[in-house]
Amino acid sequence: MAKKTLRDLSVSGKKVLVRVDFNVPLKGGQVADDTRILAAVPTIEYLIQQDAKVILVSHLGRPKGNVVPELRLDPVARRLEEILERPVKKVNEALGPVAERAANSLLPGEVLLLENIRFYRGEEKNDPDFAAGLARLADVYVNDAFGAAHRAHASTAGVAQHLPAVAGFLMEKEIRMLGSILEEPKRPFIAVLGGAKVSDKIKVLNNLVPKVNTLIIGGGMAFTFLAAQGYGVGRSLLEEDKIPVAKEIMQVAESRGVKLLLPVDVVVAQEATDKAVSQVVPVSAIPAAEMGLDIGPATRKLYSEAIAGASTVLWNGPMGMFELPPFAAGTQAVAQAIADSGSISVVGGGDSAAAVAKLGLAGRMTHISTGGGASLEFLEGKELPGVAALQDK
């Protein structure tokens, strides 16, 4: 999936519309976590150095086509100014005369941030006229918002029909890292999948089973697999209608010689709270009145030893309710094992990325995806609209 990137274009003096993912949490009118802003900085700084006129477009939250004052991008503009150490112009429109005047008045090396693109109904509808209006702002289009690449919206797909469209550096890295582990991973290749539901990961499981050497299952979804093996799971999260799917995945893994690891013990409690009284039990003895909320110490050891022998590790989804201290040890153990393994490690966005950041291990992972839903769909083998719209090499 070789796509053209910024390096394939001459951008000097040109107006460059960059789709970024500045969908960041705000608190008290300030950016509470600037991770996504920082991820776009290499692309923005490259364009500044190349004397491009930089026009940034992003969404924030879910205003659903309405102007929501608390979702304006002014706090983002202020934080970006601090990071870039240069002025960032901001307008209260994303297209139309005001936006066009602001774009046309830019000098080489200047940066303009448009208003929240989801204030417009035409964005999520991928309205052709809306996309054409957006394209009128610029000479070139760059998509650096992998986190929104699974959406066929005007600013991610539609605008690319009107302008030369290439990948930014973050988008390029996401495609390269996720693509390489699916297409030509260094072996042994281990996938660690967690999270709540099998139904959320069926397509990922089906796509990965033929590609991996070992598949490790944790989180709430593990209980559907345990039920498929005939275990009682008490009040644990269980998708009874997905038991046949779990059985089929286990059969495919066995037929292909893929090692499939499931919990051998779990941490259970009567309630999922930070003050819950918990105990460790083998998976064959989960009390009927309790629910499994994390993998147990024997499972942590089993999984960590498997991960230690990997050359490539893909991790998507926590091992338990890691946001609650009594049930965080499993996720912590997996994160630490991956960090210590020396493997090519790719963390697939969402809760896994949050866990790695919380544990201070982000710097020891090869790549942490910025796209939750987008990375999941990529791992399912789907073509993402925001990637498909870019020019091929």
Among residues 61, 109, 232, 373, the one annotated as catalytic is 373
Q: Which two tokens stand for residue 212?
A: 């991996």
Q: Which two tokens stand for residue 197?
A: 């539901």
Among residues 36, 79, 118, 242, the one annotated as catalytic is 36
Chain centre to alpha carbon of residue 84: 24
Long-range Cβ pairs for the range 98-101 (8 Å, 24+): 99/137, 100/136, 100/137
Q: Which two tokens stand for residue 65?
A: 């086509």
Closest CA to 235 of 288, 280, 191: 288
3-state SS, residue 201: helix
Phi, psi dihedrals of residue 171, rounded to the nearest 5°: -60, -45
Residue showing tokens 């609209």: 385
Beta strand 291-295 with 140-143 is: unpaired
Closest CA to 192 of 51, 63, 82, 295: 295
Helices 329-341 and 350-358: angle between axes, nearest 10 degrees: 80
Residue showing tokens 């110490």: 297
Q: Which two tokens stand for residue 385?
A: 């609209």
Q: Which two tokens stand for residue 344?
A: 């090519």
How far apart are alpha carbons 293 and 356 in whole angstroms?
Answer: 19
Decide: 353 and 368 in contact? Cβ < 8 Å: yes
How far apart are alpha carbons 346 and 369 in whole angstroms?
Answer: 7
Among residues 14, 78, 176, 197, the one annotated as catalytic is 197
Among residues 350, 371, 372, 386, the one annotated as catalytic is 350
Residue 334 neighbours by CB under 8 Å, 6+ apart? 192, 194, 218, 300, 303, 304, 307, 315, 319
How far apart are alpha carbons 265 and 336 in whole angstroms?
Answer: 19
Cα torsion angle, 242, 247, 248, 254, sign: positive
Beta strand 140-143 with 15-19 is: parallel
Question: Is residue 242 annotated as part of the catalytic site, yes or no?
Answer: no
Question: Is residue 36 annotated as part of the catalytic site, yes or no?
Answer: yes
Q: Which two tokens stand for residue 168?
A: 């930014």
Question: Is residue 373 annotated as part of the catalytic site, yes or no?
Answer: yes
The catalytic residue positions are 36, 197, 350, 373
